[in-house]
């Protein structure tokens, strides 16, 4: 009986509970991200809430905390809206653990998003850093990439190769990036999100295989 109670107590400590900090983070992101998804009329909040939902959905399958969910909501805040100054504000509002994860999830902390380093350099540096990041950061990153891959696949089915024109790099480089990300994630151990990202990437590669090779 004591053993059963001990196991129940251990399980309870792993349950995810959302507080008013989560509500505050949603409002913070909503106020900050008034832009739309690339080439669409979809509010950017759809992406942020989608990534946060994927992370929350892993509760019970992986260790998921409220800080991780908040970091998922804010993962693009510093990269796209103010760099280090934004990161400092996130730390002030949500604490050092959240700001640390947001920093790790950013491929640039340039204050002006129009002055970021070139795409290849940023992605290569992100991949290099990601290999050393802890499981919580890698889970959020995988959720982010899964949401993106699903969105590209869905839009490809509707508009075909035109979808690549929304990005700084085309099919060849986008698929390269997903494959390199998968190498990093799988080296740390597969989970449901990583498995789904691999399945979606495979599908995207197959469905677009008839295209002429482009950057």
Check whether 212 has a pLDDT greater than 90: no
How does pLDDT run across 82-97, given as a tens digit for each residue? 999 999 999 999 999 9
Residue 7 is predicted with a pLDDT of 44
Return the closest-CA partner of residue 78 out of 29, 20, 36. 29
How does pLDDT run across 17-63, given as a tens digit for each residue? 999 999 999 999 999 999 988 878 899 999 999 999 999 999 989 99
Question: What six digits make up the tokens of 11?
Answer: 């399980």
Q: Sorting pLDDT into bands at 50, 70 and 90, what band is 13?
A: very low
Q: Return d(Cα 186, Cα 197) in angstroms, integer.
A: 11
Whether the CB-CB separation of 68 and 97 falls below 8 Å is answered with no
pTM, 2 dp: 0.90
Check whether 210 has a pLDDT greater than 90: no
Q: Return d(Cα 128, Cα 171) in angstroms, integer.
A: 22
Q: Over pLDDT 90: what percentage of the chain?
A: 80
- Domain extents in the chain: 2-207
Check whether 8 has a pLDDT greater than 60: no
Token look-up 């498995």 returns 195
Q: What does CATH list as the number for 2-207?
A: 1.10.3210.10
- Encode 19-34: b = buried (16+ Cβ within 10 Å), e = exposed: eebbeebbebbeebbe
């Amino acid at each position: 009986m004591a053993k059963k109670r001990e196991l129940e107590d251990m399980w309870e400590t792993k349950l995810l509970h959302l507080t008013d900090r989560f509500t505050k983070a949603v409002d913070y992101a909503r106020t900050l991200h008034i832009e739309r998804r690339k080439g669409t009329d979809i509010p950017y909040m759809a992406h942020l809430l989608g990534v946060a939902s994927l992370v929350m959905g892993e509760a019970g399958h992986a260790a998921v905390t409220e800080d991780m969910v908040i970091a998922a909501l804010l993962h693009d805040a510093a990269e796209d809206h103010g760099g280090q100054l934004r990161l400092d504000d996130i730390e002030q509002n949500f604490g050092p653990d959240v700001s640390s994860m947001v920093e790790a999830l950013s491929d640039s902390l340039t204050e002006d998003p129009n002055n970021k380093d070139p795409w290849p350099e940023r992605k290569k540096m992100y991949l290099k850093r990601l290999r050393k990041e802890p499981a919580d950061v890698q889970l959020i990153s995988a959720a982010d990439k899964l949401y993106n891959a699903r969105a590209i696949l869905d839009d490809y089915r509707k508009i075909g190769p035109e979808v690549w024109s929304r990005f700084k790099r085309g099919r060849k480089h986008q698929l390269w990036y997903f494959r390199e990300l998968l190498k990093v994630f799988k080296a740390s151990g597969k989970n449901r999100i990583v498995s789904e990202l691999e399945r979606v990437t495979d599908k995207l590669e197959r469905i677009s295989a008839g295209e002429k090779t482009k950057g």
